Amino acid sequence: MKTRYILPIACLLAIAILIPGPVTAQSDECDNKALRDEVSNLIQGGASQDEIEALTAGCAANEPLRAGGEPLLSNQAGAQTTTATGSIFWEQIDACGYHPQRRELDCAVEVRQRFGFAGTPPGAPGFNGPGSWEWIQFCVDFGGGLVPINLSAVHVHDEAYGVNPSWYYGVSVQANPALHTALVNGQTLKARAILSWTLIPTGCNYIPIWGNQADFKIKLDP
């Protein structure tokens, strides 16, 4: 068991100043629970996105990896693989699909805990708070590697009424002009969706502290 601790926010911010940000891949192992509590407190205190990113700069998920240091697969079914690139204790993508006529990605996001989302909704039992965002970055490979398509999110809160998880949220991400103008002729393209709690993904190789990624194929039927 690793010792869990919480550094004062001032100390963490002082450390973060020395690290250029934002980053797309975190390198230093951090205590997920302690850091999540710190981030939730910042959110409830009205901190800016820049302040939250400064606190978490340089951190990576510290959950178990496969032999060789590769991330765990949270699910593998046929052509779709979801990989636990970050912590999946609180949330994860379960599956994604693309609606070619509506030009829309839809992902099922599973919320796996009652806590850790920056407070219960206003007027609900418990400690009310602003809640937090589950972000999804959508990427597609047109033949030259994955490129960003669009970004979307769902807003979530802590559970207030004693109901146990899991909950499933549908997150829709719209196409961009590159995908809109791709030939809708039945061709198949590689795609990726990256889930990240609170921290906004910055690219198609982004490694979240909290979240995972789904790699799958989309078929552009007319």
The answer, yes or no, to whether residue 170 has pLDDT greater than 70, is: yes
In this prediction, residue 61 carries a pLDDT of: 75
**Does position 126 have pLDDT exceeding 80, yes or no?**
yes
Name the more confident of 22 and 166: 166
For 80-92, write each residue's pLDDT tens digit.
Answer: 899 999 999 999 9
Compute the distance between CA of residue 49 and CA of residue 45 in angstroms, rounded to an integer: 12
Q: How far apart are CA 186 and CA 208, in angstroms?
A: 32
Give yes or no for residue 144 having a pLDDT over 90. yes
Using the 8-state DSSP alphabet, how is residue 2 labeled? Answer: P
Q: What's the whole-number average pLDDT of the chain?
A: 86
Q: Which positions ≥6 away from 203 have C-beta within 8 Å?
A: 24, 137, 148
pLDDT for res 180: 92
**Contact between 112 and 88 (Cβ < 8 Å):** yes
The per-residue pLDDT for range 171-186, each reduced to its tens digit, is 999 999 999 999 999 9
pLDDT in tens, 184-216: 999 999 999 999 999 999 999 999 999 999 999
- With cut-offs at 50, 70 and 90, classify the pLDDT of residue 11: very low
Tell which phi-psi region holds residue 162, choosing left (phi > 0), alpha (psi between -120 and 50) or beta.
left
pLDDT average, residue stretch 100-105:
96
Please check the confidence at residue 27 and state whether its pLDDT lies above 50: no
Full-model pTM: 0.82
Residues 16-29 have a mean pLDDT of 41
Phi, psi for 4 (deg, rounded to 5): -95, 135
